[in-house]
Amino acid sequence: MAKKPKTDQVVTNKPSRRMNLRNYIVLCIMLLLALAIVVHMAIIQLVQGDDWLARARSQQMSDNVVAAKRGTIYDANMEPLAISADVWRLIMSPKNIEDVNLEKLPGIDSQEELRGYIADQLSALLEIDREKLFNQTGKTNSQYEVVKTRVEYRQKEEFITWVTENGLAGVFRIIPDYKRYYPQGVLLSNVLGFTGTDNNGLEGLEAAYDSVLSGVPGRIVTAQNGWGDEMPTQMEYSKVVDAEDGNSLVLSIDQTVQMYAEKYLEEAVRETGTTNRGTILIQNVKTGGILAMATKGDYDPNNPFVIADQAVADAIAQLPEEEQAAARTTALQQQWKNKAVSETYEPGSVFKVFTASAALEEGVGTLQTSYNCPGYYKVGGWTIRCHKAGGHGTLDMPGAISGSCNPYFMQIGLKMGAHNFFKYFTAFGFTEKTGIDMTGETSNAGLYHSEKTLSNTVASLATAAFGQTNKVTPIQMINAISAIANGGELLTPYVVQQILDENGNVVENTERTVRRQVISKETAAKVSDMMKAAVNGGGCKGAYVAGYRVAGKTGTSEKRDIEGNEVVASFAGFAPADDPQVAILILLDQPQSAIRFGGTIAAPVAQKVLSEVLPYLGVEPKYTDAELVKLSTTTPAVTDKPLTAAQAAITNAGLSARVVGKGETVLKQVPEAGQSVPRGGLVVLYTDENSIERTVTVPNFMNMSVAAANMAATNAGLNIKVSGVGLDSGQTIANKQSIAPGTAVPPGTTVTVSFLYKDGADGG
């Protein structure tokens, strides 16, 4: 001890017993308190531990859903029709606004000003509503406010730049997403359908194959700290469940075929003023796969909620405000509906081919079976008229098909009886859904006469026999037509040929599915021949395509279940008749044109489509001698050639040459090389500069016959391309020309003139 303390007497003062006793008491009290707290701690850690841990984890983990890339929809040639493109979702965390370092933002001194700044700048940058954004910035409890969805690459980049420049990286983040694009726009819209905001299929194939296309969303669970910042990954706090991208569809539909189908259908719908839309179906008769399926009017699946028909949109805008929403919904539902599978119609005379098939198959009649048509037929107290005043007289079966005679089919229908008729009505698939792999195939249950009704009411059987009163769907019709074309096998139609996984491997391939043999090959061949005859010189010649034997039947059915005198004009057929490849159905619902027979307005659509589609599909044309004469040829290239050589080349190509100018060399030719002109057509050769400027005036071809139009064109120094008629060009009048009358054009220019058969009547 260094030094003795002064207060010596205290040193001798040992702790008393009382002090030590109280020491123990204090120690015990403290230990008891500590023990109580330890018990509480045990409750928190051991009893409630899992609950607290779960709560803690939920704030420590940020759990983000990673969208799965939706599969692509390809056409038969792997051309994409529906694709998913990368887009981004922009997320704001208003909670973090209070942590922003305001020093980096000159002129902003408070959180309030920062909110205003963000709202001003971002609403302008992203083209969004400023007020909404400003309100979002005020939700300081929230870490997840969606600023904008489906932001595309460029805007995303601009956004990132802005965020970085303003030091707001803590407040915003981006989440990858996908957006559905339909690169072909309206093409195939009613089949493809579209997706909703969360990329779920809402209509069409997008809906029918939603589970196939959508894939499985992934998750990224990342650890975050209390400021919402991501934790370093080496801490193994993040867990990634990869998204499984959706499978892709390869359709049986061929984009090119579809394009032709839509082009000519749209033209027909527009020109005939069809009010209840038109539809077209092209089917591979051998596999059942659909090659084209279109409805007009349709819509743009990129903007499905826009009413595509401007007239309809305008009409809705005129309505009182309270009715607009409902009207809009109805209009949208209507434009999304795939008419080819979702609506029914009375097939009219087209149906006669099935009555004929039934009669032949059951032996009720032969090709030679004849009936007389006096212009009407009396049945069950009703007098039902034929379309031909005065009647067809006595007809055999091919004549009845070609002439589309109603009394003939009433009589043969009554002869076969309700049982046989209904047997084939059922056998051809008209009483069941076809089972096509799409949503929205409607059932025609209740829309056709039962066997009982048919046997009880002879008038019903008689009218049904020529295609009235029973309603069917367009898909049922084309499928039944295909059965005749392919030798009697009813197939299951389909639009999805293959399902591919994300690596392009085939997961599923649609096989040809035969539902039943409806009629024998022989019967099918007989009916096919009759249909071929009907198109090639018969009553359905509007569908004639040179070089291809088109078989078909037209129909014009009255819509007796609605107000007014409305009809459905249709054509159903297949080609080539001797080796059928494709079946085609065209349907114009409520055309408003002056002539609205199926043979006049529907058959030409088939003609136009088939004349493009058959060569495209590689079906070799087989021309008759009569057809060869009228064939188009291709102009040879003669520009810059000596005049004499040019003239020889043109003559060799089966064309005639007309020289303009005095030069020795061809400076310019009209039509240019590679243009299609009728055999024997004119090629004008210019040999000096001065002559090139010369023009001729296009005459008015309207209402001319083919012969008259040819003459007028030749006189004017023009080439004419005749469209819409076959070999038998009598009884046709021109109703359209590709270049307006009075237009000044270079000599040799080709003018396409469309002709209509005046006598397209097909008796129902």
Partner 1 sequence: MSVLSMPADPSANIRKRRRKLLYTAAGFDIPFLLILLAILVIGLISLYSAGYVYSFYWNDGDSFYFIKKQLLFAAIGIAAMFAASFVDYHHWHRFAWLVWVGSIILLGVVLLLPAESGIHRWIRIPGIGQFQPSEVAKFALVLLFAHLISLNYKRIQTFTGGFLPLLLILGVTCGLVFLEPHLSGTMLLCLLGLVLMFVGGCRVRYLLGLVALGVLVVFVAIFVLGYEQERIDVWLNPLEVYNRDYTGRSQAWQTVQSLYTIGSGGLLGQGLGNSRQKHLFLPEPQNDFIFAVVCEEIGFIGALFILLLFALLIWRGFVIAMNASDKFGSIFALGLTAQIGIQVILNIAVVTNSMPNTGISLPFFSYGGTSLVMLLAQMGIVLSISRQANLKKN
Interacting residues toward partner 1 by CB under 8 A? 1-3, 5-7, 10-16, 18-20, 22-27, 30-31, 33-34, 36-38, 40-42, 44-46, 48-53, 55-56, 59-60, 95, 140-141, 223, 225-227, 231, 237
Task: Determine how β-strand 172-181 pairs with β-strand 278-284.
Answer: unpaired
Q: In whole angstroms, what is the distance from residue 141 CA to residue 482 CA? A: 64
Query: Which residue's CB is nearer to partner 1, number 64 or number 513?
Result: 64
- Residue 116: CB atoms within 10 A of its CB come to 15
Taking the complex as a whole, the smallest distance from the CB of residue 244 to partner 1 amounts, in Å, to: 30
Query: Which residue's CB is nearer to partner 1, number 128 or number 221?
Result: 221
Give 620's Cβ-side CA count (13 Å radius): 1
Cβ proximity of 698 and 739 under 8 Å:
yes
Could you tell me how many helices (H) and strands (E) the chain has, helices first? 25, 31
Q: Which DSSP symbol is given to 94?
A: G
> Following DSSP, what letter does each residue of 265-293 receive, concatenated?
HHHHHHHHT-SS-EEEEEEETTT-BEEEE
Query: Which residue's CB is nearer to partner 1, number 30 or number 317?
Result: 30
Strands (E) located in 125-244: 145-151, 172-181, 218-223, 239-241
Query: Which residue's CB is nearer to partner 1, number 140 or number 634?
Result: 140
Taking the complex as a whole, the smallest distance from the CB of residue 230 to partner 1 amounts, in Å, to: 11
Taking the complex as a whole, the smallest distance from the CB of residue 61 to partner 1 amounts, in Å, to: 9
- The number of angstroms, rounded, from the C-alpha of 515 to the middle of its chain's C-alpha atoms is 26
* Bond from prior residue into 297 cis (ω within 30 degrees of 0): yes
Place of tokens 């007014």: 564
Write the burial class of residue 618 (CB in 10 Å: 0-12 exposed, 13-18 middle, 19+ buried).
Answer: exposed
Q: In whole angstroms, what is the distance from residue 538 CA to residue 731 CA? A: 13
Q: Which DSSP symbol is given to 594?
A: S
Query: Which residue's CB is nearer to partner 1, number 57 or number 758?
Result: 57
Contacts of residue 561, defined as CB under 8 A and 6 or more positions apart, other chains included, come to: none
Classify 488 in phi/psi space as left (phi over 0), alpha (psi -120 to 50) or beta: left
Taking the complex as a whole, the smallest distance from the CB of residue 117 to partner 1 amounts, in Å, to: 21
Query: Which residue's CB is nearer to partner 1, number 42 or number 514?
Result: 42
Q: In whole angstroms, what is the distance from residue 125 CA to residue 218 CA? A: 30
Contacts of residue 9, defined as CB under 8 A and 6 or more positions apart, other chains included, come to: none
3-state secondary structure of 642: strand
Query: Which residue's CB is nearer to partner 1, number 181 or number 237?
Result: 237
Query: Which residue's CB is nearer to partner 1, number 2 or number 445?
Result: 2
Taking the complex as a whole, the smallest distance from the CB of residue 54 to partner 1 amounts, in Å, to: 9
Taking the complex as a whole, the smallest distance from the CB of residue 142 to partner 1 amounts, in Å, to: 10
Cβ proximity of 518 and 424 under 8 Å:
yes
Token reading at 568:
């459905």
Query: Which residue's CB is nearer to partner 1, number 55 or number 662?
Result: 55
Taking the complex as a whole, the smallest distance from the CB of residue 100 to partner 1 amounts, in Å, to: 15
Q: Which DSSP symbol is given to 311?
A: H
CA distances to 9, 652, 684, 746 from 636, rounded to whole Å, are 138, 9, 12, 18
Q: Helix, strand, coil: what percent of the chain each, to 5? A: 40, 25, 40
Place of tokens 């009505």: 425
Taking the complex as a whole, the smallest distance from the CB of residue 7 to partner 1 amounts, in Å, to: 5
Buried b / exposed e over 323-358, threshold 16 CB at 10 Å, is eeeebbeebbebbbbbbbbbbbbbbbbbbbbbbbbb
Taking the complex as a whole, the smallest distance from the CB of residue 238 to partner 1 amounts, in Å, to: 12
Q: Where are the alpha helices (DSSP H) in 618-762?
A: 625-630, 643-652, 689-692, 706-716
3-state secondary structure of 189: helix
Query: Which residue's CB is nearer to partner 1, number 23 or number 275?
Result: 23
Q: In whole angstroms, what is the distance from residue 325 CA to residue 317 CA? A: 10
Query: Which residue's CB is nearer to partner 1, number 127 or number 236?
Result: 236
Taking the complex as a whole, the smallest distance from the CB of residue 56 to partner 1 amounts, in Å, to: 4
Taking the complex as a whole, the smallest distance from the CB of residue 6 to partner 1 amounts, in Å, to: 8
Q: Which DSSP symbol is given to 72?
A: P
Taking the complex as a whole, the smallest distance from the CB of residue 62 to partner 1 amounts, in Å, to: 13
Taking the complex as a whole, the smallest distance from the CB of residue 1 to partner 1 amounts, in Å, to: 6
Taking the complex as a whole, the smallest distance from the CB of residue 12 to partner 1 amounts, in Å, to: 4
Query: Which residue's CB is nearer to partner 1, number 227 or number 616?
Result: 227
Taking the complex as a whole, the smallest distance from the CB of residue 32 to partner 1 amounts, in Å, to: 10
Write the burial class of residue 245 (CB in 10 Å: 0-12 exposed, 13-18 middle, 19+ buried).
Answer: buried
Cβ proximity of 420 and 364 under 8 Å:
yes
Q: In whole angstroms, what is the distance from residue 722 CA to residue 751 CA? A: 9
For the chain, how far is it from start to end, CA to CA, in angstroms? Answer: 133
Taking the complex as a whole, the smallest distance from the CB of residue 235 to partner 1 amounts, in Å, to: 9
